[in-house]
Structure formats: structure tokens, C-alpha cells
């Protein structure tokens, strides 16, 4: 039985090779299971044909070309009307944490997710860019629609290392500078920062007409409080620590985490933002499919 | 008030600090765990800090309580109560009076049955942890189990012996005094005769005495006296009748089932019963009253011996006092004239009683003459001083001696002075250490002199028989020549020291020498103090047995048996408390562990 990489355990998939290879394998698998393009754009003016690939919507199939040449082609539209997407990747120190050696760190997972997302969008001829941040903006790659642009993105993503603290607002403000027209902002982060501040910025993006997606990356080890009978828990970004007994706080902690996730979810829903809670053990295909399904519903 | 059976275990209460110490120790250097979601942890801690502190405090308290409860349970806590069945393990002595008086019939039942019922009820109040002793009329404490005690009580019979209740209670108190148990008590089950009480050392063990029944009206034979001791073959038996009522009763003198004489007497009367034996030798006589509530003291046994009085002569060397006393005996028929026994100061052939010579110069010749006769005993040096006579000759015991010769050589001593033989026989020669003159001894001028001379002639010199009067169970000294005692089960040997425990069945027991001749008789009759059924009042009881003596009614016995020690054993209560506390601790400790939920 052939395993689809997009449905395998992320850690196992990561063993296959570098980010690019993994992302391509994931995307291939992912697209093979779809009947139409997952992240279709807004443009209406025809630009060129490209060969049909599984997952493309049949409505974009060029039936005349099929009748003439008996070959499947999909119509592509003008670049200026294509979607412009900016991936905003959190590379703060908190992202470089893994609760178990058999898992990807949040950052490694996020890098592969970003790679897959960017590949999908570039294949749709959507202009895709990247902003990486920690306590400041670390990397900015403007959105391009060329297929080779993905390699540029990947070289930068590969070079990203975990940084210091977390400050998402400057990065998100940078998005408004880079997306002059309506576009798509995708925030990939563990969201360990001031929620209200970031939500205001995200809401500002929505006011500017952009669509916003948030991928809340979380290690399963963050869902439950585990550890020795008593331990000093230390924040890798700020160095702030506190002594706690996991056994005493476990239930309350779990409740706090679930409440936080629900708060994020409802806050995003109220602002028209796609929110996806993603565990680092979730196969990439599931995440992509869920995100695609949501986008389909939102139109 | 709570007390503990194992108070040393309370030292383990220090272990109650273990949870707190563990808590403090674990707080010292907790390991550092890098955790990016500390934001959630901080929020959680902020929201639940008060509840957590309270929970931790409760957990600490519960864990400490578990240890404290367990330690308290191990120390066996006891709560003393005003009522209840339980009591701490106690040392209990049941003094059960099955002496002769317990055979009296009271209100249609034998007193001993009432005593046994009360003792069984007291026994039922004991538990398996108690140490139990039973003291019966023999006064010997027996350490028994409850089962053994019950068996003893079920098989009680009145013994024809006297119980010295004061002595028995003191022995009982001493028995439990050294016991390490908390509760100690002596419970007396007796008819509480006044005559059974004696004073003694202070009793410092709680003493509980239930009053059981009422004492019966009783008559008894107080004493019998054969006169003369040597019947010829007729004689009399003087009998004193004791009692606590005014009714008269028939008094009968019988020998071998034949009534020799009878009369009527009331309590306190003395009567003389006459009789004549069929021939010479021994006879067993009984003096009997009409039956009353206490049958055991309605008959008294006496040994009669019929023989011709010895024919005696006093030589001049025996002294004036001896000659005159012999004349009295001959006048009274206790001796006749003749030379069966010669009293003098120089040895001759035949049975002779020698007194030291008045002239010390002749002492050597006397000793040589004794040696020529084959006699192994001789006179020794002359001693002066003041001593008292001791020995088996009751008539002279305690008389003062001022001058005496030592008596040297092996022989049978009948009396001693300063632990040296004073009256010794060897063969047919009897040596007396002192002359019968006032300068030598007070005997010649005392009332005991004629009876002494009677004994000396008719018993010591003429080999006539002894009669020993004792109570059943007494330790008696048999005559030197006696080697066995005849009982209903045949002959039993007499120990070499001539001391033997008298049988428990009243009657006359004959003593025989090695040649099979009867040399005496043992008259066993109950101690008359057992017949005196006058009850001791509370004051008398407390005077004799201690002011702390608790005297109660038969009905209150069970309630008062352990009234000072009624208690509730709290061990299980504390164990349950420890268990419940542990369960509460477990529940509280796990209250924060709910099933993992995924968002």
C-alpha cells in the first residue's frame, strides 16, 4: 500500500529529506486528493493555459482545447488579478520547542507548512511572499508569482533560525505595506504573545480587505502539563520562571489552554479570520485540507 | 479520659512531621524545565493560587493526620467510661471461700452454690486479656484460664478446713501486685464470717466484696476432752456445745455405732458423757449433735485408749516434789504403786526416769553405770542460766529452766532447752536435764507439774500412746516412733522429719511404729472457728481488709466489677479515622487529575 506523504506523521515525513522535498511530496499528495484548486484566486481575465493536474476545478478546464487536442488544460488568469499572499512566520525562541524527541519542533513544523502553502499558491499562480519575525522583522520576501520564486522562498526559510522574543505586530503591519491590493495574510505562529494587540492588527488587515488565516501551531506537550513532581518552569524567550507542581495544576492548566484556544477561535471568527489550531503531530495534508475546506466555504 | 496501653508508641508521633519535612525538602531545588507555554501556566496559577494553597494545606493536614491517627491507634488508646463492657487487661484474683462454713444451707440452697453463682457471674465479666487467679480455701493462688476457672467453679465442694480470709486476701493482693497490667483487683466470694478475718499488712489492690446470702443459725461441738486420757476401761468425754441459738439439742457419745451415752444441751453448755469400752486398747468415739443447717460440725471424733495405769515408784534421789506429785497421781488412779517405772537419780535395771543427782560429785558414777547398762546417753556439764522448755510435751512447753545438765549421746528427744536435748529416752532409760526443784526449774511449783509427771510416767517412760489433735489439712508432728499413718486407703509412710499434712477427711487416724504397733492417734476435727457463723459487718471488713474495700450487693457485682476500668477501646476508631483520612487525602490529591481533553 502506497502511503501518501501528506497523511503521514510529520516527523516521519520530515525524515524523507529537506523542506523542499517534503513540501513537494506533501503538496503532490494533497492535490491528488482534491477535485479543484484549493486556494483559487479572484482574477477573471485569461492569461495562459497550463496542464491539468488532479485537484483542479473542472470549471477552469478548457473544454475547447480538450476537444481540439484531446489534452487537458486549465485556463490561467492575468497575474495582476491573481491573489497576493503573504506568509507571516513566527521564528521566535518559543517556536524552537519540542515536547518529545519523536516530534518536530513547532518551528520545523511551521517551516514545512509554510513551504507547502507557498508551493500550492505558487502553483495557482498566486503571488506569494514571506515575512519572518521574532521580536522584530527578521526576513521579508516580497510576493512573486513565478514558479521559481518558491526556491527563493525555500532558501530563506531554510536559513531561518530561532530568534529571541515575539513581536508579531510589526510583521503584520509590514504586511499592510506589502499588500497594496486585497490579498491573503497567513500567520503561522504559536501565538504566545499579547492576544489583544495582535488581534487588533489582524482586524486592521481585515479592514484593509485582506483575507487572514491564522495557523496556531502547538506542540502536544503544551496541551497538558507534564514534568517532575515539582519543577521550575522557565520561558525560553523571557527567562521568566515559576515553580509549579504539574500534578496539582494539570487539570487547571489544560482548562486554561482549551479556554485560550477557544478564545482565539471565537475572536478570529468574530473578525472574519480563519483560525486553525494545529498540533505538530497533525499530518500536513489534514491541515491543508482543513484550511482549503474553510476557504471554500468562505468563498 | 483517654489513656494508652502502649504509651511508648506515642514517640512515633514525631513522624507526623514527615509530610511537612518532605514538603520543605522537595521545595529546595526543583529541576528547571524550559516551557514556552508558561504564559498559560502563569494564568492558571494566578487563577487557582488560593484554591491550590488551601488544597495543599489540606493535603498536608490530612497526611499528617493519617500518621497521627496510625500512631495513636498503635498506642492502643482507651477511653474510660462510666459504663460499658470493655476493660483493660486486668489481673484478677477470685477468692472463693469453699471452707467448711460454705456447706451451710441458706434459704434452701447451700451457701457454696450461691458463692459459685456469684463467682461465675464475675468470671463472665472478664475477657480473654485478663490474667486470672483462683484462691480456694487452701489459700494457694492458682493461675488459670477462664475455662479452667469455670471448671473449678463448677466443681466446688465444701472442704472441712478453715479459710483465713484476711491471709487469703493478702496473698491474692501480693499475687497481682507485681503484674504489669493496668487493672488489678481482688474479688472475694465468701460467707464473710467474722471469725475468718485476720489483720495484716495493708492491701493496696482494689478489693471488691459482694455480700452473698445470710449466714445460718448454727450449733456445733466446740470441744471434747477425754478424762482421764487413759481410760481404764471406763471414762468420760467432756463436751462443750457452741452455737448461736437458744434451742437445745441432743448430744450423743458413740463408739463403733453404739451409743454409750446421751444428754441434752444448749448453746454454750458443757456436758460430760460417760462410757465404758469393751476392752483394753484403742477405740474411735464420736460425739454428735442433732443435724442443723451446717452438718459438718455436728460431729466430733476422739480417740480413746483403755489401759492400766503404770505402776511407779519414786526413789528418794528423785526429790520431794516428784514423790509428792506421784502420790497425787496414785491417789487419782493415774498411777499405781509398783516398780514398772522407777523415778530416781541413779540407774537401775528396768524402766527408769533419772533426774540429775543433787551431788555433782556422783555424776561420773551415774554416767559409768549408764554405760554399763548399754545406754548411749549420758549427763554432761552443768549449765546455769534461764531458758524455756520446747518440744512435744505440751504440759511443760514454755516452762522456765534455770539449771541443767547437758545430755550427751544419741536418743529420742521429747523436750529441748536452748535447742539442746533436755528430756531424752534411750531404751528403757529416760534422762531429764534438770532436777525437779525450784532452784533448777519452775516446773515443780507450777500447775503443769502433775500432768507433766503423768505424761512422763504413762507416755514417755511406760511407752504409752500419743494422741495428736489437729484440723484437716494441718501440718502435724507425729510421735518419734511413728512410721506410718493408717487411713481409709491403707497405710501411708510418715516422712523422716515426722511432719505430715493431715488428711482432709475428719476422723481418727492411728499411727504405727516400724514393728506394727499402734503408737498414737491423730484426731482430725474441723476448726471450730468455721462453725461460728456470725457475719462481719462493713466496718469490721474494712478494719481488717482495708478502708478502700468496696462492699457491694450481689446484684451490683457485675456493674461494679470493673467500674473504674470500664472503657472503650479507641484503636479501631483511630484506624478508621486514619483510613477515612487517607481516602480523603487520595480523593483530594487526585481531584485535579481529570481525563485529558483535546481541544
Q: Are residues A53 and A139 in the same domain?
A: no
pLDDT of residue B170: 92
Q: Do domains B90-216+533-565 and B219-303 have the same CATH topology?
A: no
How far away is chain B from the Cα of A166, in angstroms, using its nearest Cα? 11
How far away is chain B from the Cα of A247, in angstroms, using its nearest Cα? 7
Q: Are residues A48 and A150 in the same domain?
A: no
Number of A–B residue contacts, CB under 8 Å: 109
Question: Are the beta carbons of B457 and B353 closer than 8 angstroms?
Answer: yes
Sequence-distant (6+) residues with CB within 8 A of A77 are A41, A43, A44, A45, A46, A47, A125
Quick check: A228 and B38 CB within 8 A? Answer: no
Quick check: B41 and A253 CB within 8 A? Answer: yes
Q: Does A236 touch chain B (CB under 8 A)?
A: yes
Contacts of B599 in chain A (CB under 8 A): 223, 257-258, 261-262, 277
Residue A62 belongs to some domain of the structure = yes
Quick check: B592 and A237 CB within 8 A? Answer: no
Sequence-distant (6+) residues with CB within 8 A of B320 are none
Contacts of A222 in chain B (CB under 8 A): 36-37, 40
Contacts of B41 in chain A (CB under 8 A): 225, 233, 242, 244, 249, 253, 256
Contacts of B49 in chain A (CB under 8 A): none
Q: Does B49 touch chain A (CB under 8 A)?
A: no
- Domain boundaries in chain B? 2-82+569-589, 90-216+533-565, 219-303, 311-461, 470-524
Q: What are residue B222's phi and psi, to 5 degrees?
A: -75, -40
Quick check: B31 and A228 CB within 8 A? Answer: yes
The angle formed by the CA atoms of residues B522, B527 and B530, to the nearest 5 degrees, is 155
Residue A26 belongs to some domain of the structure = yes
Question: Which candidate from A190, A233, A258 shows the least CB-CB separation from B41?
Answer: A233
Asked whether the predicted pLDDT for residue A6 surpasses 60, the reply is: yes
Q: Are residues A137 and A229 in the same domain?
A: yes
Number of domains in chain A: 2
From B276, B440, B454, B451, select the one nearest B357 (Cα to Cα).
B440
ipTM of the complex: 0.78
pLDDT of residue B481: 81
From B417, B433, B463, B456, select the one nearest B314 (Cα to Cα).
B456
Q: Are residues A49 and A146 in the same domain?
A: no
The set of cell numbers assigned to A244 is 509549579
Contacts of B592 in chain A (CB under 8 A): 247-252
Quick check: B592 and A228 CB within 8 A? Answer: no
C-alpha–C-alpha distance, residues B134 and B138, integer Å: 11
User: Chain A residue closest to B595 (CA)?
Assistant: A251
Q: What are residue B279's phi and psi, to 5 degrees?
A: -160, -170
Q: Which of the pair, A22 or A201, is modelled with greater confidence?
A: A201
Quick check: B36 and A243 CB within 8 A? Answer: no
Contacts of B598 in chain A (CB under 8 A): 223
Contacts of B52 in chain A (CB under 8 A): 248-249
3-state secondary structure of A36: coil
The pLDDT tens digits of the residues spanning B451-500 come to 889 888 887 777 566 788 899 988 888 887 888 999 878 888 988 888 88
Q: Are residues A167 and A289 in the same domain?
A: yes
How far away is chain B from the Cα of A275, in angstroms, using its nearest Cα? 13
- Examine residue B228 and say whether the peptide bond preceding it is cis (omega within 30 degrees of 0): yes
pTM above 0.90, yes or no: no
How far away is chain A from the Cα of B22, in angstroms, using its nearest Cα? 12
Q: Does B38 touch chain A (CB under 8 A)?
A: yes
Distances (CA, A) of B219 to A31, A41, B187, B305: 130, 138, 29, 28
User: Chain B residue closest to A223 (CA)?
Assistant: B598
Q: Does B28 touch chain A (CB under 8 A)?
A: no
pLDDT of residue B587: 87
Q: Are residues A190 and A243 in the same domain?
A: yes
User: Chain B residue closest to A99 (CA)?
Assistant: B35
Quick check: B52 and A257 CB within 8 A? Answer: no
Sequence-distant (6+) residues with CB within 8 A of A73 are A49, A50, A51, A52, A61, A62, A65, A66
Residue A37 belongs to some domain of the structure = no
The pLDDT tens digits of the residues spanning A28-51 come to 766 665 544 455 444 445 666 777
E strand or H helix that includes residue B559: helix B557-561
C-alpha–C-alpha distance, residues B389 and B397, integer Å: 5
Q: Are residues A171 and A272 in the same domain?
A: yes
Quick check: A256 and B47 CB within 8 A? Answer: yes
The angle formed by the CA atoms of residues B128, B133 and B137, to the nearest 5 degrees, is 145
Quick check: B36 and A97 CB within 8 A? Answer: yes
CATH at residue A197: 3.40.50.410
From B46, B40, B48, select the one nearest A235 (Cα to Cα).
B40
Residue A35 belongs to some domain of the structure = no
pLDDT of residue B599: 42
Residue A89 belongs to some domain of the structure = yes
Mean pLDDT split into 10-residue runs, chain B, 599 residues: 79 82 71 88 84 84 90 84 68 93 89 92 86 92 93 93 92 87 86 89 86 85 82 87 87 92 92 90 92 91 87 92 94 88 90 91 92 92 93 79 94 89 90 94 92 84 74 86 86 87 91 87 92 90 88 82 70 91 87 49
Quick check: B30 and A230 CB within 8 A? Answer: yes
What residue numbers bound the domain in which A113 lies? 6-30+82-298
The set of cell numbers assigned to B134 is 483462683
From A112, A294, A102, A101, select the one nearest A217 (Cα to Cα).
A112
Contacts of A237 in chain B (CB under 8 A): 36
Q: Which CATH number fits domain B90-216+533-565: 3.30.2350.10, 2.60.40.10, 3.90.70.10, 3.40.50.410?
A: 3.40.50.410
C-alpha–C-alpha distance, residues A188 and A175, integer Å: 13
User: Chain B residue closest to A277 (CA)?
Assistant: B599
The pLDDT tens digits of the residues spanning A271-281 come to 889 899 999 99
Q: Which CATH number fits domain B311-461: 3.40.718.10, 3.40.50.720, 3.40.50.880, 3.30.930.10?
A: 3.40.50.880
Quick check: B35 and A258 CB within 8 A? Answer: no
pLDDT of residue B548: 81
Alpha helices in B352-436 (DSSP H): 363-372
Sequence-distant (6+) residues with CB within 8 A of B424 are B377, B407, B409, B411, B412, B413, B414, B430, B431
How far away is chain A from the Cα of B18, in angstroms, using its nearest Cα? 17
CATH number 2.40.37.10 is the correct assignment for the domain at B219-303: no
What's the order of all strands across the beta sheet hosting B412-417? Answer: B336-337, B311-314, B341-344, B352-354, B429-432, B420-426, B412-417, B378-391, B400-408
Question: Which candidate from A230, A241, A254 shows the least CB-CB separation from B597?
Answer: A254
Alpha helices in B351-467 (DSSP H): 363-372, 449-455
pLDDT of residue B119: 92
The pLDDT tens digits of the residues spanning B518-546 come to 888 999 999 999 998 888 999 999 999 88
pLDDT of residue B178: 82
E strand or H helix that includes residue B275: strand B270-276
Quick check: A222 and B26 CB within 8 A? Answer: no
- Best mutation site among B22, B27, B28, B39 for testing chain A: the one with the most A CBs within 10 Å? B39
- Best mutation site among B23, B24, B32, B38 for testing chain A: the one with the most A CBs within 10 Å? B38
Q: Does A240 touch chain B (CB under 8 A)?
A: yes
Residue A38 belongs to some domain of the structure = no
C-alpha–C-alpha distance, residues B329 and A285, integer Å: 147
Q: Are residues A64 and A145 in the same domain?
A: no
> Residue B54, class by beta-carbon neighbours within 10 Å (0-12 exposed, 13-18 middle, 19+ buried)?
exposed
Q: Are residues A70 and A134 in the same domain?
A: no
Residues 565-594 of B with CB under 8 A from A: 589, 592-594
Quick check: B44 and A248 CB within 8 A? Answer: no
Q: Does B56 touch chain A (CB under 8 A)?
A: yes
Q: Does A134 touch chain B (CB under 8 A)?
A: no
C-alpha–C-alpha distance, residues A200 and A183, integer Å: 18
Quick check: B599 and A248 CB within 8 A? Answer: no
Sequence-distant (6+) residues with CB within 8 A of B217 are B243, B244, B245, B292, B293, B533
Question: Which candidate from A222, A231, A261 shows the least CB-CB separation from B31?
Answer: A231
C-alpha–C-alpha distance, residues A140 and B58, integer Å: 55
Contacts of B33 in chain A (CB under 8 A): 227-228, 231-234
User: Chain B residue closest to A257 (CA)?
Assistant: B40
Residue A94 belongs to some domain of the structure = yes
Quick check: A244 and B41 CB within 8 A? Answer: yes
What's the order of all strands across the beta sheet hosting A231-234? Answer: A241-244, A231-234, B32-34
Give the Cβ contact number of residue A232 at 10 Å. 16
E strand or H helix that includes residue B510: strand B507-513
Distances (CA, A) of B475 to A121, B472, B531: 128, 9, 21
Give the Cβ contact number of residue B200 at 10 Å. 15
User: Chain B residue closest to A217 (CA)?
Assistant: B37
User: Chain B residue closest to A222 (CA)?
Assistant: B37
Quick check: A248 and B40 CB within 8 A? Answer: no
Amino acid at each position: 500500500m502506497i502511503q501518501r506523504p501528506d497523511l503521514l506523521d510529520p516527523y516521519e515525513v520530515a525524515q524523507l529529506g529537506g523542506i523542499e522535498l517534503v513540501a513537494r511530496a506533501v503538496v503532490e499528495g494533497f492535490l491528488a486528493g482534491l477535485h479543484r484548486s484549493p486556494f483559487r484566486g479572484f482574477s477573471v481575465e485569461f492569461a495562459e493555459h497550463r496542464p491539468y493536474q488532479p485537484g483542479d476545478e473542472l470549471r477552469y478546464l478548457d473544454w475547447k482545447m480538450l476537444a481540439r487536442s484531446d489534452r487537458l488544460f486549465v485556463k490561467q488568469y492575468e497575474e495582476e488579478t491573481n491573489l497576493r499572499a503573504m506568509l507571516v512566520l513566527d521564528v521566535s525562541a518559543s517556536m524552537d520547542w519540542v515536547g518529545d524527541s519523536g516530534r518536530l519542533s513547532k518551528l520545523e513544523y511551521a517551516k514545512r507548512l509554510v513551504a507547502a502553502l507557498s508551493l500550492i499558491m505558487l502553483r495557482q499562480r498566486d503571488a506569494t511572499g514571506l515575512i519572518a519575525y521574532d521580536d522584530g522583522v527578521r526576513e521579508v520576501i516580497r510576493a512573486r508569482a513565478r514558479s521559481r520564486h518558491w526556491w527563493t522562498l525555500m532558501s530563506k526559510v531554510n536559513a531561518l533560525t530561532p530568534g529571541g522574543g515575539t513581536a508579531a505586530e510589526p510583521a503584520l503591519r509590514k504586511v499592510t505595506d506589502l499588500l497594496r491590493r486585497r490579498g491573503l495574510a497567513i500567520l503561522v505562529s504559536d501565538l504566545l504573545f499579547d492576544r489583544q494587540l495582535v488581534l487588533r492588527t489582524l482586524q486592521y488587515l481585515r479592514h484593509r480587505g485582506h483575507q487572514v488565516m491564522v495557523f496556531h501551531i502547538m506542540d502536544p506537550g503544551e496541551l497538558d502539563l507534564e514534568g517532575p513532581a515539582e519543577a521550575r518552569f522557565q520561558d525560553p524567550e523571557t527567562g521568566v520562571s515559576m515553580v509549579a507542581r504539574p500534578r496539582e495544576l494539570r487539570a487547571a492548566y489544560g482548562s486554561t489552554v482549551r479556554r485560550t484556544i477557544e478564545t482565539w477561535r471565537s475572536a478570529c471568527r468574530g473578525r472574519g479570520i480563519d483560525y486553525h489550531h494545529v498540533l505538530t503531530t497533525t499530518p500536513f495534508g489534514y491541515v491543508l485540507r482543513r484550511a482549503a475546506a474553510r476557504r471554500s466555504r468562505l468563498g | 479520659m483517654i489513656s494508652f496501653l502502649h504509651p511508648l508508641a506515642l514517640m512515633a508521633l514525631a513522624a507526623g512531621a514527615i509530610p511537612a519535612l518532605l514538603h520543605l525538602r522537595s521545595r529546595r531545588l526543583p529541576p528547571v524545565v524550559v516551557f514556552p507555554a508558561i504564559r498559560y501556566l502563569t494564568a492558571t496559577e494566578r487563577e487557582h493560587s488560593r484554591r491550590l494553597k488551601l488544597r495543599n494545606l489540606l493535603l498536608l493536614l490530612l497526611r499528617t493526620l493519617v500518621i497521627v491517627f496510625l500512631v495513636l491507634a498503635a498506642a492502643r488508646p482507651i477511653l474510660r467510661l462510666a459504663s460499658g463492657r470493655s476493660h483493660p487487661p486486668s489481673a484478677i484474683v477470685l477468692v472463693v471461700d469453699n471452707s467448711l462454713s460454705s456447706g451451710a444451707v441458706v434459704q434452701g440452697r447451700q451457701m457454696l452454690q450461691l458463692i459459685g453463682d456469684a463467682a461465675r457471674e464475675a468470671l463472665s465479666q472478664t475477657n480473654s486479656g485478663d490474667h486470672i487467679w483462683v484462691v480456694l480455701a487452701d489459700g494457694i493462688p492458682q493461675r488459670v484460664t477462664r475455662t479452667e476457672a469455670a471448671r473449678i467453679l463448677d466443681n466446688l465442694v465444701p472442704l472441712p478446713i478453715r479459710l483465713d480470709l484476711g491471709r487469703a486476701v493478702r496473698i491474692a493482693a501480693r499475687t497481682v501486685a507485681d503484674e504489669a497490667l493496668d487493672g488489678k483487683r481482688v474479688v472475694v466470694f465468701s460467707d464473710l464470717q467474722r471469725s475468718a478475718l485476720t489483720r495484716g499488712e495493708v492491701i493496696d489492690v482494689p478489693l471488691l466484696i459482694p455480700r452473698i446470702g445470710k449466714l445460718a443459725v448454727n450449733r456445733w461441738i466446740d470441744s471434747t476432752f477425754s478424762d482421764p486420757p487413759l481410760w481404764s476401761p471406763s471414762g468420760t468425754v467432756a463436751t462443750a456445745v457452741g452455737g448461736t441459738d437458744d434451742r437445745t439439742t441432743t448430744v450423743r457419745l458413740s463408739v463403733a455405732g453404739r451409743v454409750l451415752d446421751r444428754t441434752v444441751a444448749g448453746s454454750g453448755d458443757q456436758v460430760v458423757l460417760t462410757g465404758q469400752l469393751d476392752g483394753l486398747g484403742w477405740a474411735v468415739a464420736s460425739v454428735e449433735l442433732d443435724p442443723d443447717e451446717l452438718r459438718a460440725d455436728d460431729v466430733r471424733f476422739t480417740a480413746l485408749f483403755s489401759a492400766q495405769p503404770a505402776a511407779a515408784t519414786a526413789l528418794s534421789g528423785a526429790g520431794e516434789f516428784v514423790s509428792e506429785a506421784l502420790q497425787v497421781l496414785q491417789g487419782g488412779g493415774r498411777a499405781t504403786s509398783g516398780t514398772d517405772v522407777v523415778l530416781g537419780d541413779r540407774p537401775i535395771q528396768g524402766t527408769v526416769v533419772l533426774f540429775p543427782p543433787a551431788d555433782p560429785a556422783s555424776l561420773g558414777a551415774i554416767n559409768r553405770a549408764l554405760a554399763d547398762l548399754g545406754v548411749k546417753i549420758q549427763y554432761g556439764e552443768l549449765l546455769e542460766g534461764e531458758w524455756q522448755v520446747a518440744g512435744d510435751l505440751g504440759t511443760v512447753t514454755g516452762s522456765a529452766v534455770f539449771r541443767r545438765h547437758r545430755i550427751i549421746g544419741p536418743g529420742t528427744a521429747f523436750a529441748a532447752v536452748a535447742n539442746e536435748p533436755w528430756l531424752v529416752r534411750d531404751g528403757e532409760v529416760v534422762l531429764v536435764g534438770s532436777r525437779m526443784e525450784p532452784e533448777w526449774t519452775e516446773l515443780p511449783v507450777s500447775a503443769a507439774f502433775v500432768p507433766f509427771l503423768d505424761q512422763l510416767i504413762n507416755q514417755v517412760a511406760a511407752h504409752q500412746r500419743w494422741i495428736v489433735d489437729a484440723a484437716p489439712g494441718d501440718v502435724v508432728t507425729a510421735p518419734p516412733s511413728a512410721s506410718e499413718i493408717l487411713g481409709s486407703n491403707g497405710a501411708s509412710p510418715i516422712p523422716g522429719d515426722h511432719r505430715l499434712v493431715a488428711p482432709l477427711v475428719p476422723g481418727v487416724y492411728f499411727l504405727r511404729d516400724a514393728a506394727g504397733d499402734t503408737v498414737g492417734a491423730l484426731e482430725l476435727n474441723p476448726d471450730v472457728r468455721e462453725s461460728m457463723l456470725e457475719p462481719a459487718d462493713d466496718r469490721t471488713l474494712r478494719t481488717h481488709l482495708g478502708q478502700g474495700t468496696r462492699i457491694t450487693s450481689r446484684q451490683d457485682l457485675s456493674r461494679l466489677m470493673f467500674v473504674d476500668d470500664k472503657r472503650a477501646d479507641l484503636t479501631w476508631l483511630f484506624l478508621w479515622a486514619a483510613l477515612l483520612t487517607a481516602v480523603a487525602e487520595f480523593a483530594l490529591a487526585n481531584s485535579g487529575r481529570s481525563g485529558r481533553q483535546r481541544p
